Amino acid sequence: MTERRFSIKAPGGVMEEMTWVDVREAAAAGLPAVVAVGSTEQHGPHLPLNTDSILPAAIAARAGERTPLVVAPPIRFGARSRALSGGGESFPGTLSVRAGTLIATLTEVLEGLGRAGFTKICVQNWHFENTGLIWEACDLASEAHPGVRFLLLEDPMPSFTQEDLEQLFPSGFVGWDVEHASVMETSLMLAIYPDLVRRDQIADDAAERHPSWDLVPAPPEFVPASGVLSRAGDASAEIGEKFLEAISGRLLEALATEFDCAVA
Amino acid sequence: MTERRFSIKAPGGVMEEMTWVDVREAAAAGLPAVVAVGSTEQHGPHLPLNTDSILPAAIAARAGERTPLVVAPPIRFGARSRALSGGGESFPGTLSVRAGTLIATLTEVLEGLGRAGFTKICVQNWHFENTGLIWEACDLASEAHPGVRFLLLEDPMPSFTQEDLEQLFPSGFVGWDVEHASVMETSLMLAIYPDLVRRDQIADDAAERHPSWDLVPAPPEFVPASGVLSRAGDASAEIGEKFLEAISGRLLEALATEFDCAVA
Amino acid sequence: MTERRFSIKAPGGVMEEMTWVDVREAAAAGLPAVVAVGSTEQHGPHLPLNTDSILPAAIAARAGERTPLVVAPPIRFGARSRALSGGGESFPGTLSVRAGTLIATLTEVLEGLGRAGFTKICVQNWHFENTGLIWEACDLASEAHPGVRFLLLEDPMPSFTQEDLEQLFPSGFVGWDVEHASVMETSLMLAIYPDLVRRDQIADDAAERHPSWDLVPAPPEFVPASGVLSRAGDASAEIGEKFLEAISGRLLEALATEFDCAVA
Amino acid sequence: MTERRFSIKAPGGVMEEMTWVDVREAAAAGLPAVVAVGSTEQHGPHLPLNTDSILPAAIAARAGERTPLVVAPPIRFGARSRALSGGGESFPGTLSVRAGTLIATLTEVLEGLGRAGFTKICVQNWHFENTGLIWEACDLASEAHPGVRFLLLEDPMPSFTQEDLEQLFPSGFVGWDVEHASVMETSLMLAIYPDLVRRDQIADDAAERHPSWDLVPAPPEFVPASGVLSRAGDASAEIGEKFLEAISGRLLEALATEFDCAVA
Amino acid sequence: MTERRFSIKAPGGVMEEMTWVDVREAAAAGLPAVVAVGSTEQHGPHLPLNTDSILPAAIAARAGERTPLVVAPPIRFGARSRALSGGGESFPGTLSVRAGTLIATLTEVLEGLGRAGFTKICVQNWHFENTGLIWEACDLASEAHPGVRFLLLEDPMPSFTQEDLEQLFPSGFVGWDVEHASVMETSLMLAIYPDLVRRDQIADDAAERHPSWDLVPAPPEFVPASGVLSRAGDASAEIGEKFLEAISGRLLEALATEFDCAVA
Amino acid sequence: MTERRFSIKAPGGVMEEMTWVDVREAAAAGLPAVVAVGSTEQHGPHLPLNTDSILPAAIAARAGERTPLVVAPPIRFGARSRALSGGGESFPGTLSVRAGTLIATLTEVLEGLGRAGFTKICVQNWHFENTGLIWEACDLASEAHPGVRFLLLEDPMPSFTQEDLEQLFPSGFVGWDVEHASVMETSLMLAIYPDLVRRDQIADDAAERHPSWDLVPAPPEFVPASGVLSRAGDASAEIGEKFLEAISGRLLEALATEFDCAVA
């Protein structure tokens, strides 16, 4: 649906809304396909469960305004949620799959994109728990499609300067690991899908304890009651627009560098 | 996104756009969750690749106008496409998964819905090739959640009278097996998502040969060039509205019968 | 053992009773191999547990009287039994496997037949719950043996005229879905393996409720006490002979059409 | 079919030919179920492919003449054939499965027997390559059915005295490892299923080289041209009867010792 | 073998060299078990292939000098090596397993430790590619052993101050991601296993290009010829001792915090 | 670590302590790689848990004194322990994996050795329960590396004369099946790793009952209290040296016969 908000350069588009003839044309034109690997996961009382899938798709669509590309169907069920990075599996509505299921799904989807004729496939991750599970899917799909180059962005964030961080995080940057349903994601949603944000429910929260290691099973003090892991209250559409520009900019840089895509 | 077009009764809704708090409330209210099992598959030169996922979700949302329910996230990657029922895997953009991957995904999603507190879960299939793979996922999820009742609609169609069929298929009914990207699906899309239909590309087509058995690998004469398996040209929004009413009506009948849902 | 009752044309035969030299000869002669996919499942108080395996093998052997073919070893453990089509897993003696196990077994057996030199392999299903699980096995075996053509009869029934149905079902035809341990199967057993039928135990029965959808776990009213899903009492050897002729006739038609087998 | 040749004591029987009511009765009576784990494998130019499945079933049926028991459906597809013990996978008609498939099948069948009410389940192996794969299936089924006792005969042979061996192997005993399609199996087939033996094809053979270790891939000199691994020419129905008595005797000893079965 | 170099407090020890009676005693005493998840992977021309397994085990043994613990058997085969973090699978001697195999192995080992009576199990990762694959193994083992607390150190490094980093990396710190066979690992090996280091082969190297994203298949410029990803030449036993102190210190901190271990 | 005790001929060595450059050189020189498949399993109150992994590695290293070879990393987690051959899974410290996990691990390690350039790979088993699981791993790895020859020693023992047996087993030979933590293994450990043997804990023991079949679950009388299955008290370093000579001698014979290795 991001197509409605962004004007992807022809013959690119949002693949789920394209016909097979469109896809054939886009692949024949050498366009890259961008596959988001997200999740269906609680994002606090103010963001929808599909936040992790529609945000990376929208970021790819934004990049598509400057270079033609195909936004492939996102992988919407991600690896099991962990308390310290996503609240954990106990939140109603968090729907996750086992590692093996995620790897199999992604592998088969990547193989399908290879069969469709795409030779430039970019996989961008937007769910911390997926990290480490994506590379093998690319490796396996690569065995079946040796002519395809897979570009993998496990961490979708660009590197920000200290000055950037101060602008993006008005109350101070406390680490990407707690940026779940917090400033960054809430701001992006306010910029792109404001009607999906319950503004009156935005609040700050944090796990009572957040060590640099993890415990299984997660003790109660690792789980913030609201599902928000940091300060969502600082979020704004303006900050969201800055993130959108920066993150889509890094995606464009990667596409230009590795796939020789011309960026307008 | 079907929420925008249909007014699901509160506290129901489209789960992907709900927050975890909404889901908790809906589950606590004893609402049923309806999971569509679809595909990402060619649907001719005129329908989008996500036809098999957005149609059953929209049908569930339509039913939600008469009884509160939750439209759970559809399973968007279905079993491998077969030439005689979906054109086969050779069409660009058809993205399928292996049987084991589909069963695992559905099982884990159903378990997640059980963990969320739903005790009434309806699974409705909208991709012929998924038939036979869904029941085991329900059975496995049932082992983990013995308190949940799973209602399975492998064939989403109600039984139509001869008179119905004559109205729905102006040139004559030739069988559900070839109703892929044809009258029924095209009409439903025209009724629900007209902006996703390439009206100027709608055409009739058929496999050169369509026996009652199957061959692997599929011979060329089993694959219609356009991906349309029958007469899409007869489609209209009016016919689509009739299908929408009939199919959502059967879903409501099932929900009322098995889950005691009150239908307005 | 069907060999004893039918005279399969040379150099065909029942593979389990052939030697490897026989199989080499049959494969070299270009004969088709016919693999039944059955089950070990309750068939009421009057039919043996192997009904679903020996019937399709016998039907193939009957076809073998008119064109030489090899009756390959049946797959005797099928997908989990469902209450509405086979009584369900609660009947003592029903021995089923998981979907993944069935697909793996069939795939490996089909690959073995390909390795043996068969290039024409017909898979005929005789257990409703297997439907939808067989095609992928053919597809996977086809990847390993691209020179083999797999002919798949998921539904073994020919299409009968209304007149046929009236003859075959004296009390009226109520649907194939309840033809489990009922008129058709009991009649076939009476015609082919009369000594395996407990004539004094033949009776009519039905699930108390048999909707067009399914429920998991199956409620008690879906399970007929006897395991018979319809009217077995109408069965006769004469009706069985008609079924045998009709079903083996359709198999022959498929073999002739797709494999150019000459039918005597 | 072994039922026809042996008179198993009531209420025992050959399960595949029993009804579910019979099985319920047998299980309720505390009878043991005996599951053969065999193969579909070349057995020289003179023995049928199902030798490894029908022999152990017949041996169990013979034991059933002295204590009531149920001959459960054999597992007819065994682990991949190895050149030095079964000729290897290159013989037409050898149909094997992967280790994981065998373990899954056996586990699920054993669980089904547990669900049927059997609490005494004996698994007897008759295919060398299955050794080592069976115990885990029992262990897994035991987790699901802790009240069942599984008796496992990985090696079905009793220990013979030197005198016995001299009688059984007229030209001298050369080791069980080469007793494939040789004296023991040919003799048993002559005693039990003489009509399935091609007497005019019985011959002696041996691998050109048969070390105590193995090589993969098997070099040609490991594979005897005929598939016979030793001296089949010494076989006779009389020797077969002695083997039948001895092997079924050991089965009875195990059933008496571990399951307290009364042996007549 | 680390036992020889470190004096783990009784009744702790290196589990592989302990007897089952020792293990029973250690578990009964409430000691934690520390499982390293390493790899068998090229580490340049100067370090052995088992670097990733013996280093974390030695670090645990060092921690064992201050609190009694059991160094459990390391997982010695890790996830597939990637060019940018380990050189990739093309180096002779790199022996890796698939993600599913690693998760299964670790899950089963953790379950075995739970069965042994350990209720405090610490998993410390020492191979970048394993990150993301370990948590699910803990989660699965936790389902089987709900009374066990799993402590997971995916990143074994403590946080160093800028001053620390300057001391540890004489030529400047260039990022943990390239610390493969470089200063940190070479120094640790010099401190702990100097006889396993080929001092004359220590050299600096780097991938020609090392972007923040990844490509599959890895282009040649991602793979340093030597397998060293940064400046190994700065390594020294003194630096190694500092790392040993710091990393084992963090492990002790985690054990003290989460398992209430008393640290001497 | 066996390298320290044995002087493997150059350019052979213990792979875990070699660098990738060493491995490349050894593979290029056509050396065989020897992979032990062991276990982590209780070995009585006097032997360490890694007995089954370090013994076969040491035996290979001893063979390496007479022909250059590479001792590949052992597979240290074996198939589930059975009471009658290893005491069973109930002993603390026994850490086993499922059959599928073992096959996958070994397959992937063998493929890695093939990728490293080895064309002669010897797999020697040292854990009874692994028997039957190893061949398929070789077969699967062979599919990926058809140019590699795999030599498989499932039973590592040479055939001993009666005179040999009398010397090796002072109190009489009672069968290899109970040689777990008994004379043979204890003697080998005394000869090779005397510091790992608790001499004061060596004792004789036996299962109360040890039939030629198995039971699952294992009854208490199958499990010797100490984990010793026979007479460990007869063990001595002298006997261990004889075993070492004999077993490594058979390995050398196999390497010479199948790989044309020159034995000094």
In a domain, E264, yes or no: no
Distance of CA C206 to the CA centre of its chain: 22
In a domain, F231, yes or no: yes
Strand partners, F67: none
pLDDT in tens, D129-138: 999 999 999 9
Structural domain range at position B25: 2-259
Q: Is F252 on the interface with D (CB under 8 A)?
A: no
The tokens of E77 are what?
């085969």
Evaluate if residue F3 carries a pLDDT over 70.
Answer: no
Evaluate if residue D1 carries a pLDDT over 60.
Answer: no
The tokens of E14 are what?
């290196």
For residue F135, list chain D residues with Cβ-Cβ distance below 8 A.
80, 82, 129, 214, 216
Give CA–CA dist E237/D141, Å, rounded: 54
Partner-chain contact F101 E98, CB within 8 Å:
no
**Subunits that touch chain E (at least 3 Cβ pairs < 8 angstroms)?**
A, F
The tokens of D10 are what?
């009531």
**Subunits that touch chain A (at least 3 Cβ pairs < 8 angstroms)?**
B, E
Nearest to B99 among C103, C146, C151 (CB): C103
For residue C43, list chain D residues with Cβ-Cβ distance below 8 A.
19-20
Distance of CA E27 to the CA centre of its chain: 23
Strand partners, F95: F40
Say whether B43 is catalytic. yes
The residues near D40 (Cβ < 8 Å, ≥ 6 apart) are C16, C73, D49, D50, D52, D53, D76, D77, D78, D93, D94, D95, D96
Evaluate if residue D3 carries a pLDDT over 80.
Answer: no
In a domain, A152, yes or no: yes
Q: Is D83 on the interface with F (CB under 8 A)?
A: no
What beta strand segments (E) does chain A contain?
A: 13-14, 33-37, 70-71, 120-125, 149-153, 214-216
The pLDDT assigned to F5 comes to 84
pLDDT in tens, A210-225: 999 999 999 999 999 9
The pLDDT assigned to A3 comes to 60
Closest by Cα among A125, A145, A147 to A135? A125
A interface test, pick of B5, B101, B121, B123 with most A CB neighbours within 10 Å: B101
F interface test, pick of E95, E106, E197, E205 with most F CB neighbours within 10 Å: E95
Say whether C210 is catalytic. no
> Looking at the 3D structure of chain A, how many domains does it have?
1
Backbone angles phi, psi at A48, to 5 degrees: -75, 165
For residue B216, list chain C residues with Cβ-Cβ distance below 8 A.
135, 138-139, 142, 149-150, 152
Residue ranges of alpha helices (H) inside F44-146 are 51-63, 83-86, 99-115, 134-144
Is-contact F41 F127, C-beta < 8 A? yes
The tokens of A66 are what?
């400057």
Burial F58-76 (b: 16+ CB within 10 A, else e): bbbbbbbbbbbbbbbbbbb
Chain C residue nearest residue B89, CA to CA:
C139
Say whether A260 is catalytic. no
- Could you tell me the mean pLDDT of each successive run of 10 residues in chain E, 264 residues long? 81 98 98 98 98 98 98 98 96 98 98 98 98 98 98 96 95 89 97 97 94 97 94 96 98 98 96
Q: What mean pLDDT, rounded, does chain F reach?
A: 96
In a domain, C264, yes or no: no
The residues near B173 (Cβ < 8 Å, ≥ 6 apart) are B165, B166
Evaluate if residue D4 carries a pLDDT over 80.
Answer: no
Give CA–CA dist A139/F7, Å, rounded: 40
Say whether D2 sits in a helix, a strand or coil: helix
Task: For the beta carbon of residue E166, count every other beta carbon within 10 angstroms.
Answer: 12
Residue of A111, A185, A205, A234 marked catalytic: A185
Packing angle, helices F51-63 and F237-259, rounded to 10:
60
Partner-chain contact C215 B151, CB within 8 Å:
yes
Residue of F46, F111, F179, F185 marked catalytic: F185
End-to-end distance of chain B based on CA atoms, in angstroms?
23
Chain D residue nearest residue F141, CA to CA:
D216
Chain F residue nearest residue D143, CA to CA:
F217
The residues near E230 (Cβ < 8 Å, ≥ 6 apart) are E174, E178, E179, E180, E182, E183, E204, E205, E206
Q: What mean pLDDT, rounded, does chain D reach?
A: 96
Evaluate if residue C138 carries a pLDDT over 60.
Answer: yes
In a domain, A264, yes or no: no
Say whether D261 sits in a helix, a strand or coil: coil
Type of residue found at E201: Q
Give CA–CA dist B185/B189, Å, rounded: 6
Say whether D155 is catalytic. no
The residues near E141 (Cβ < 8 Å, ≥ 6 apart) are E107, E110, E111, E114, E148, E150
Backbone angles phi, psi at A184, to 5 degrees: -65, -55
The pLDDT assigned to E18 comes to 98
**Subunits that touch chain C (at least 3 Cβ pairs < 8 angstroms)?**
B, D
Number of residues in chain B: 264
Partner-chain contact C151 B80, CB within 8 Å:
no
Give CA–CA dist C93/C39, Å, rounded: 11
How many Å lie between the alpha carbon of F100 and the closest alpha carbon of chain D? 6
B interface test, pick of A19, A22, A145 with most B CB neighbours within 10 Å: A19
Closest by Cα among E225, E224, E42 to F18? E42
Packing angle, helices A237-259 and A51-63, rounded to 10:
60
Residue of C127, C205, C210, C234 marked catalytic: C127
Q: Is C77 on the interface with D (CB under 8 A)?
A: yes
Q: What mean pLDDT, rounded, does chain A reach?
A: 96
How many Å lie between the alpha carbon of F179 and the closest alpha carbon of chain D? 18
Q: Is chain D touching chain F, with at least 3 CB–CB pairs below 8 Å?
A: yes
How sure is the predictor about D177, in pLDDT bands with cuts at 50, 70 and 90? confident
Instruction: Describe the strand order of the beta sheet including C13-14 as a list of residue ranges.
Output: B214-216, C149-153, C120-125, C33-37, C70-71, C13-14
DSSP state for residue B233 in the 8-state scheme? G
The pLDDT assigned to C2 comes to 62
Evaluate if residue C5 carries a pLDDT over 90.
Answer: no
The residues near B68 (Cβ < 8 Å, ≥ 6 apart) are B8, B9, B10, B11, B12, B26, B29, B31
A interface test, pick of E107, E213, E215, E259 with most A CB neighbours within 10 Å: E213
The pLDDT assigned to C180 comes to 92
Q: Is C71 exposed, middle or buried (0-12, 13-18, 19+ CB in 10 A)?
A: buried
Say whether F121 sits in a helix, a strand or coil: strand
How sure is the predictor about A203, in pLDDT bands with cuts at 50, 70 and 90? confident
In a domain, D167, yes or no: yes
Give CA–CA dist A222/A206, Å, rounded: 9
Give CA–CA dist F114/D219, Å, rounded: 19
Q: Is A109 on the interface with B (CB under 8 A)?
A: yes
Partner-chain contact F19 E116, CB within 8 Å:
no
How many Å lie between the alpha carbon of F218 and the closest alpha carbon of chain E? 17
How sure is the predictor about B203, in pLDDT bands with cuts at 50, 70 and 90? confident
Say whether C25 is catalytic. no
For residue E212, list chain A residues with Cβ-Cβ distance below 8 A.
155, 159
Type of residue found at A88: G
How many Å lie between the alpha carbon of B219 and the closest alpha carbon of chain C? 10
Q: Is B258 on the interface with C (CB under 8 A)?
A: yes
Evaluate if residue B1 carries a pLDDT over 60.
Answer: no
The pLDDT assigned to E1 comes to 55
Q: Would you list the DSSP string of chain C?
A: -GGGTS-PPTT-EEGGGS-HHHHHHHHHTT--EEEEE--B--BTBTB-TTHHHHHHHHHHHHHTTTS--EEPPPB-S-BPP-HHHH--TTSTT-B-B-HHHHHHHHHHHHHHHHHHT-SEEEEEE--GGGTTTHHHHHHHHHHH-TT-EEEEESS-PPPPPHHHHHHH-TT----GGG-SSSHHHHHHHHHH-GGG--GGG--B---S---SSEEESPPGGGS-TTS--SBGGG--HHHHHHHHHHHHHHHHHHHHHHH-----
How many Å lie between the alpha carbon of D140 and the closest alpha carbon of chain F? 10
Give CA–CA dist E250/E156, Å, rounded: 8
How far lies C225's CA from each of C42, C45, C178, C207, C230, in Å?
A: 12, 10, 14, 8, 12
The tokens of C12 are what?
């065909």
Q: Is A159 on the interface with E (CB under 8 A)?
A: yes
Interface of A with B in 170-189 (CB under 8 A): none
Q: Is chain A touching chain E, with at least 3 CB–CB pairs below 8 Å?
A: yes
Nearest to D213 among F79, F80, F153 (CB): F153
pTM, two decimal places: 0.98
Per cent of chain C over pLDDT 70 is 98
Say whether F75 sits in a helix, a strand or coil: strand
The pLDDT assigned to B177 comes to 82
Q: Is C164 on the interface with B (CB under 8 A)?
A: no
Q: Is chain B touching chain C, with at least 3 CB–CB pairs below 8 Å?
A: yes
In a domain, F109, yes or no: yes
Q: Is B119 on the interface with C (CB under 8 A)?
A: no
For residue D99, list chain C residues with Cβ-Cβ distance below 8 A.
none
The pLDDT assigned to D74 comes to 98
Interface size between A and B, measured as CB pairs under 8 A = 165
Instruction: Describe the strand order of the beta sheet including B120-125 as a list of residue ranges.
Output: B13-14, B70-71, B33-37, B120-125, B149-153, C214-216
How far lies D161's CA from each of D155, D165, D182, in Å?
A: 17, 6, 20
Chain A residue nearest residue B24, CA to CA:
A92
Say whether A210 is catalytic. no
How sure is the predictor about C243, in pLDDT bands with cuts at 50, 70 and 90? very high
In a domain, F264, yes or no: no
Evaluate if residue D196 carries a pLDDT over 80.
Answer: yes
Q: Is C196 on the interface with D (CB under 8 A)?
A: yes
The pLDDT assigned to B178 comes to 86
For residue D82, list chain F residues with Cβ-Cβ distance below 8 A.
135
Backbone angles phi, psi at C206, to 5 degrees: -170, 155
Evaluate if residue A34 carries a pLDDT over 60.
Answer: yes
* Mean pLDDT, residues F89-98: 98
The tokens of A42 are what?
């609680």
* Mean pLDDT, residues B200-210: 94
Closest by Cα among B38, B34, B100 to B250? B34
Residue whose structure tokens are 């939140």: A91
**How many CA within 13 A on the CB side of residue B186?**
30
Nearest to E109 among F19, F77, F91 (CB): F77
Q: Which CATH number characterizes residue A157's domain?
A: 3.40.50.10310
